[in-house]
Structure 1
Amino acid sequence: MIVKGVLRSEDAQKMVAEGVDCIWVSNHSGRQFEAGPAVIDQLPIIREAVGTDMPLIYDSGVAWGLDIMRALAKGADFVMVGRAFQYAVAAFGARGVDHLVHILKADIEANMSQLGAENLDNLAEHLLKSG
Structure 2
Amino acid sequence: MTPIHLTTGDDARLGGIDLTISLTPAQAKAISSDAALMADWVHSALIAMAMLRTGCETAGPAEWQHAITDVDQHLLPRVQGIRDALIRAHADTGGTVQALADAMAVARSTAQHRRQVVTRTSPSTWETWAKTDSPEPTSD
- What TM-score do the two structures reach when normalised by structure 1? 0.29
Q: Of the two, which has the highest radius of gyration?
A: 2
